[in-house]
Chains A and B, each alone.
Chain A
Amino acid sequence: MFRLTYLGPALAVLLLAGPVGFGLAGTVLPAFGISPGFGGGSFGLHYFRELFAQPALFCSITLSLTSGLASAVLSLLIVMLFTAAFAGTATFRRMQHLLGPLLSLPHAAAALAIAFLVAPSGMIMRLISPELTGWERPPDLLIVHDPLALSMIGALVAKEVPFLLLMTLAALPQAPVERVRQLTGALGYGRVAGFIHGAWPGIYRQIRLPVFAVIAFASSNVEVALILGPTQPQTLAARLVTWMSDPDLSQRYLASAGALLQLGVTGLAFAIWLGLERLCAALRNKAACGGLRMRRDRAVQVVSLTAMILAAGAIFAGLAALAVWSFAGLWQFPDFLPGSFTLRNWMKALPRVVEPLGTTLTIGVASAFIAAILSVLCFVHEDRTGKRAGRGGQALIYLPLIVPQVTFIFGLQFLLVASGWLATLPALLFAHLVFVMPYAYLCLKDPWRSFDRRYEQVAAGLGKSPMTTLFRIRLPMMLRPLLVLFAIGFSVSVGLYLPTVLIGAGRLTTITSEAVALASGGNRRIIGVYAFFQMLLPVAGFAIATLVPALIFRRFRGMQV
């Protein structure tokens, strides 16, 4: 059986490249009017003509492009400045712990939290009204769904900052931050400037793919756009999903053509980003050649810390507001707290939560488990052959994160409809696995490779087979990273919206897909209940990942962190 480890990389490649490849094909063909096994359509470019004749299409494209780039620029800037100002300090560690849980929070829940905070009738207005504003009624302001997508960008930034910070954290050990600081400090550079000149280029190289993943997601996401994004018109991706679910079949061809356009838009965002990279590098070199030392960078420290706290604080405060709403009786503006509390919302919602909750748990646990097995197989194979995934392999792992979801999930849906597998558990599991697998692999990579392989040599010397060594030495010793992988994989699955909606096709729903569906109705009490579960599930996953090893290995100090 041990010889079969090559199945690991083979299955992983199939899993990562297969759906993206076939899915893209399933999108490209209908976009040109070809749809084998599905009926309808005629070959030609007329769907593209129809697409570009849609009202306000360029407005949608611009929205997707600008909100994608703005979210990436802002979140990267915050992370860079914060790391520059605080790496190695207690503040940094505290912030890291504060942001950790946010990483696992579904985008939809974060968006809902922000919406509840900033809406004209939201918590901020309630806090300052009527005392400061004199408003007895919510002001008639277009904050949520604002035409410039500012609230949407805000939510995306708040959600991507923890992600990029964590990625930076993983890259920090390879960057000689402390030495660079001493060196540049001795040359008279300020802390931030020294970091940006000396350490950041190396770190950025390592987090570049995650940054591209952020751009891809921000420029093509659906759930945040539905909850906070502009409505007249919506972003391109949100409109695509509307077309995709239109009863008129020809709209699906239109949606496919639109999905290709989305691919182009995200590609354009990448291209602009590459330009920005060069521009920034040139500016940095210019500053370095000019010897710009920026010794007084206190303002940068304050601003970056404020931005960090705002990002985390906004989501936490919004989630707290959601929690209060779930217990609220009548709660009128501008009351800061409900007039009465009731369990009625929970009593009403709970029976209906059971089924999506069951699906969420089943799919989440199964996809995390399968992804864990496949990742382990990949790494065992790597150990056996001594061959590591090259640059191509690395890119492949990021493929599902970098290609916009809509562009290949549409095609995947076509294929699943044609094969009769749509809205079945295996199909949904498969679709989730495509997105869980990259995170699982990336999550295990460093812990696996930093394992002291002499333990295995010792075990082999003791006469133990590779199997015994794997199951009795390697895996138990790696229980903690494996459980972290599991928790991350699970939380990724819990947070997936688009694959759930399109592949579950309404018959299989998860907590997240239900929460987004409810968001349009604005029933804050019920949304509060669903958001609570969105919050609870990943946290529970991480609690298990922390508690289980602590419990199992409570006697063994060497297994404690």
Chain B
Amino acid sequence: MTDIVTDKAGLLLQDVVIRHGERVLVALTQHVAPGEVLTVMGPSGAGKSTLLGFIGGFLDPVFDAEGRVIVDGDDITDAAPETRHAGLLFQDPLLFPHMSVAGNLMFALPADIRGHMPRMALVNEALRGVDLEGLGERDPETLSGGQKARVALARVLLSRPRMLLLDEPFSKLDQALRGQMRELVFAKARESRLPVLLVTHDPADAQAAGGTTITIEP
């Protein structure tokens, strides 16, 4: 295996092997620098999402995994999911339906930011950042698909993640929106200097991401 210095900034996947019974689904060692994107391609059922589960800390117990997950030099392999700060975006925006748009964002905001006014200010700023200014009080269900996706992005960014894990986040958007959204997500990740792991089966996603692409065989 390649020898990689562990205190590098960014996301380091070292000697990661995920098995389902005897079958090896994923085996890789990769480093993703801050602001860069590692694209994992492969047909559905190949174990792409399982890799995300392993990194995020919610691997289904039917899988066995080994190897280390290291973020900015911290080994988070055995950490609880909530302490990993792995921001997730799925193909569905998964906005909490019982909270307003602002409520969703407030929920994401770390608790150490205190006081209603400062928190509200950050939320509004985040909404501005995704061109949704003034929609804070809206019921998420009343937003368009593209708007929902942007709220989801704003939400994950507000939580001060240490990395982004994207699980085919653009696949449900129509063609025109998809391009815009890709640009927005990758721009925001670069701006926040977040290492990004993108799982997709759309080569256009990989192309837009620009970084390393690895392909998992089924």
Contacts and interface: CB of A to CB of B under 8 A. Distances in A.
Q: CB–CB under 8 A between A and B in the complex? A: yes
Interface of A: 385-386, 452, 454-466, 468-469, 472-473, 476-477, 479, 553, 555-559
Contact of B82 (A454, A460, A556): A460
A459 B87 CA distance: 9
B56 A473 contact: no
B62 A461 contact: no
Contacts of A458: 88, 90, 94, 156
B56 A558 contact: no
A556 B139 contact: yes
A558 B139 contact: yes
30 contacts: A385-B61, A455-B96, A458-B94, A459-B107, A460-B58, A460-B82, A461-B81, A461-B86, A461-B88, A461-B159, A462-B108, A462-B156, A462-B159, A463-B110, A463-B160, A464-B82, A465-B82, A468-B82, A472-B107, A476-B98, A477-B96, A553-B98, A555-B139, A556-B98, A556-B140, A556-B141, A557-B142, A558-B139, A558-B140, A558-B141
A490 B110 CA distance: 39
Given A460-B58, A461-B81, 18 more contacts: A386-B60, A454-B88, A454-B94, A461-B85, A461-B161, A462-B159, A463-B85, A463-B159, A465-B80, A466-B82, A469-B82, A472-B107, A477-B97, A555-B100, A556-B98, A556-B100, A558-B98, A558-B141
Interface residues of B, number: 36
Contacts of B57: 460
B15 interface: no
Contacts of B140: 556, 558
Nearest to A384: B61
B57 to A, nearest CB: 7
Interface of B: 56-58, 60-62, 80-88, 90, 92, 94, 96-100, 107-108, 110, 139-142, 155-156, 159-161, 165
A463 B82 contact: yes
A469 to B, nearest CB: 8
Given A461-B86, A472-B107, A477-B96, A386 B159 contact: no
B88 A457 contact: yes
B60 to A, nearest CB: 7
A455 B92 CA distance: 10
Contact of B62 (A386, A463, A472, A559): A386
B61 A454 contact: no
Nearest to B99: A556
Contact of B83 (A454, A459, A463, A553): A463
In this complex, the member of A457, A465, A468 whose beta carbon has the largest number of chain B beta carbons within 10 angstroms is A457
Contacts of B83: 463
A473 B60 CA distance: 20
A42 to B, nearest CB: 56
Contact of A558 (B90, B97, B161): B97
B138 to A, nearest CB: 9
B81 A457 contact: yes
Given A458-B88, A461-B88, A477 B98 contact: yes
A388 B60 CA distance: 13
